Amino acid sequence: MNWDLVIFYYLAIAMIFSSVFAIFSRHPVYTVLLVLVMIVHQAFLLLTLGAEFLTAVQIIVYAGAILVLFLFVVYLINLRKETKKNIFIRKVSLITIVFLLFGALLVKNLLILISLKPSFKAYLPFNVEEKSNVWWIANYLFKNYLLQFEIIGVILLVAILGAVFLIRKVKTAE
């Protein structure tokens, strides 16, 4: 019994089904909760890839911050169950054309990626010298990618300021 493959297939099937049910769900709260299930499964999938730090970040940031933000907004604007017959927009031919076009582009490019069999060697192999994954990520993040790290901090600050600026109460001049 190959337990790695069993765990991988369980996580993959759970992620695919929860995201499909999230897209086809009629109630927005069910959508958010099913995506939460998908994200927790994905965190364990990252654990099978040997990325412990990213597992923690995924659970803390995605499940703890982003989806709770979505849930707050769903409650804030008091969405009811969709009462209309269809939850999709009605232009079926347009949806089909756009989906086939972009889907064919995505599948083609990623299949090219598989066929290339990426085997280029890295700067340094990691997890080989008794150093943990967190050590390598910290080393690269604060040496090679320091500028990008600062830029992402500025982007988060701008996002916070933009959200506050957009939602502020506008005083109408009377």
Partner 1 sequence: MPTLEQYVILSIILLLIGLFGFISRRNLIVILISIEIMLNGLIILFAALSHFTKDISGYIIVFFIIAMAAAEAAIGLSLVVLIYKRLKTVYSDEITNFKG
Looking at beta carbons only, is 53 or 130 nearer to partner 1?
Answer: 53
45 vs 167: CA distance, rounded Å: 37
161 vs 123: CA distance, rounded Å: 38
- Which helix (H) or strand (E) segment holds residue 106: the answer is helix 92-116
Choosing from 85, 93, 120, 130, the residue that interacts with partner 1 (CB under 8 A) is 120
Tell whether residue 19 is a contact of partner 1 (CB under 8 A).
yes
CB 84, min distance to partner 1, A:
8
Residues 50-79 that bind partner 1 (CB under 8 A): 50-51, 53-54, 57-58, 61-62, 65-66, 69-70, 73-74, 76-77, 79
CB 65, min distance to partner 1, A:
6
Distances (CA, A) of 84 to 20, 26, 27, 81: 20, 10, 12, 9
Tell whether residue 123 is a contact of partner 1 (CB under 8 A).
yes
Tell whether residue 32 is a contact of partner 1 (CB under 8 A).
yes
Tell whether residue 172 is a contact of partner 1 (CB under 8 A).
no
Tell whether residue 40 is a contact of partner 1 (CB under 8 A).
no
Tell whether residue 146 is a contact of partner 1 (CB under 8 A).
no
86 vs 43: CA distance, rounded Å: 33
Tell whether residue 160 is a contact of partner 1 (CB under 8 A).
yes
Tell whether residue 22 is a contact of partner 1 (CB under 8 A).
yes
Instruction: State the burial class of residue 53 (Cβ atoms within 10 Å of its Cβ: 0-12, 13-18, 19+).
Output: middle
CB 79, min distance to partner 1, A:
7
Q: Which two tokens stand for residue 167?
A: 């939602």
- Which helix (H) or strand (E) segment holds residue 35: the answer is helix 28-48
